[in-house]
A and B are shown apart, each in its own frame.
Chain A
């Protein structure tokens, strides 16, 4: 059985999953003193593609995630999933959070089965799905463990499985591998890239890391400083499957990287002049990077 049919035997292929963000603004606080975090932001995350949102920290990317997931409503504009406006959280868009948001009092298996359980799906069928996903994420022997007994990398994989069992149209990942050590992070990137190549699904992935972004992306959205909007859209047409360790031997990949870095640098500069503390870290890192090569 090929990998794709293996998925299809267990899941219906996810339906389209196109995210349209149209003229979205979001402010917090009372009207006169409102802080605008997102300003007039528009973009399209095409169906079954891997879209990566990249930008320096503190520019409101996570706000964008909460809006797309339906946890918060935009002040202006609208967000459509396959043409339907997002009004509340639902299984169409599932979020994999920064750090981990597993339920600490549930075992690996109970965590994965949470969605089906919450919706009252027949336990037999969902158990079969959970078994399939436990194998996929290589955690069958850890099914009875609690999150606190798993390593960081394992926790992220459980979280991926917990989202995937709901067969969402869009996987929305907010810096999902932040806080992992460098080696584990690379393994997780390779792992998730393979997983998403096995079954085409819309992915919207948020990161501050340009290497990570270029490695994963079909389409790259470079964000501006706060109040955030899309500064540039870049098609990343590098062949797949990609290999993280050799990716930047490729000239095209490097060209994209330099382009993205210099845009981010400009945005960070603006934030820096605007007195944003987060930006100074980024500028520092940029200096090191350009000095190194």
Chain B
């Protein structure tokens, strides 16, 4: 800590030497702030859920939530339960497949909408009529339409990502400066070169934004779909149901701390997949980074 003042003048990213914080652990200011915020939330949660003990009466809402230590104990117990990890795996696989399908279908569809006026005027009204229907409203219909439970869940997840990606692709393609296309044409670029070298990289950042939003939506949808549909084809409910069914099952079985474990697990899963998407997009669009 003796060199703390030096560290501060050399860029302000290391610890400013406040007592109790280790400097040089690689925590920057914002990471520290995040840690403090999470800690505060935990304390608030703890105080709230144990309010009956120290206040005499339960606080509304938060007073009936299982306490953090109970949740941690339940979690530790679950870590050695293969069923819990199976739930992770099922939900992750469903999100990955549904998201991949939404991206692979949404990108060409969006590009076609942006590129072809006739296609657009034909298809876009239908698209816009279907878009406001929430994915979850499709659950009963898709259970009827699709032969297996798994396919109906996949379809609903697909819908969750598809609209967002399509709209972002269309918006991104429309935002490309026409002068870039004109410049390329006068330098002798073919339609293919213009598509490959201008349109595609031009929409990539918006596709990235769309993907980031879409993966969040797919997590929302997968969990709800699993709850409603009873967990898909996995046979035994606790292993094949995914995190959504895990939560539902915990509720039905009265294991309230497990509900919270499931919720936090989804939070972590959503955060990790958004972060990975962001990373991937940043890697694919290096020109967006200022050096």
Contacts and interface: CB of A to CB of B under 8 A. Distances in A.
A32 to B, nearest CB: 24
Q: Determine the interface band of chain A, counting residues with CB < 8 A from chain B.
A: 20 to 34
B287 interface: yes
Contact of B187 (A94, A104, A149): A94
Given A89-B182, A97-B183, A105 B188 contact: no
B18 interface: no
A17 to B, nearest CB: 15
Contact of B186 (A94, A104, A146, A147): A94
Interface in A186-224: none
Contact of A115 (B177, B187, B202, B290): B187
A91 B188 contact: yes
A145 B185 CA distance: 24
Given A103-B197, A146-B286, A149-B290, A71 B182 contact: yes
A164 to B, nearest CB: 12
Nearest to A159: B183
A119 B188 contact: yes
B122 to A, nearest CB: 25
B180 interface: yes
A118 interface: yes
B291 to A, nearest CB: 6
B230 interface: no
Given A103-B198, A105-B287, A97 B186 contact: no
Interface in B178-233: 179-180, 182-190, 193, 197-198, 201-202, 204
Given A101-B179, A105-B201, A146 B287 contact: yes
A173 interface: no
Contacts of B189: 114, 118
Contact of B184 (A70, A114, A149): A114
Q: Determine the interface band of chain B, counting residues with CB < 8 A from chain A.
A: 20 to 34
Contact of B285 (A71, A95, A105): A105
A58 B188 CA distance: 30
B186 A91 contact: yes
A93 interface: yes
A148 interface: yes
A114 B196 CA distance: 12
A101 B181 CA distance: 9
Nearest to B182: A71
A259 B204 CA distance: 51
A166 B288 CA distance: 28
A130 interface: no
A97 to B, nearest CB: 5
A138 interface: no
Contacts of B197: 103, 106, 114, 118
Q: Specify which of A88, A94, A118 lies most central, judged by the most chain B CB atoms within 10 Å of its CB.
A: A118
Interface string B258-291: 0000000000000000000000000001111011
Given A104-B287, A148-B287, A89 B180 contact: no
A6 B290 CA distance: 36
A69 interface: yes
Interface in A127-156: 145-149
A85 interface: no
A69 B187 contact: no
Contacts of A97: 179, 183
A61 to B, nearest CB: 15
A90 interface: yes
A275 to B, nearest CB: 29
7 contacts: A69-B182, A95-B183, A97-B179, A101-B180, A106-B197, A118-B193, A146-B286
Interface of B: 177, 179-180, 182-190, 193, 197-198, 201-202, 204, 285-288, 290-291
Given A103-B184, A114-B187, 9 more contacts: A89-B182, A90-B186, A97-B179, A101-B179, A103-B198, A118-B184, A118-B187, A118-B193, A147-B287
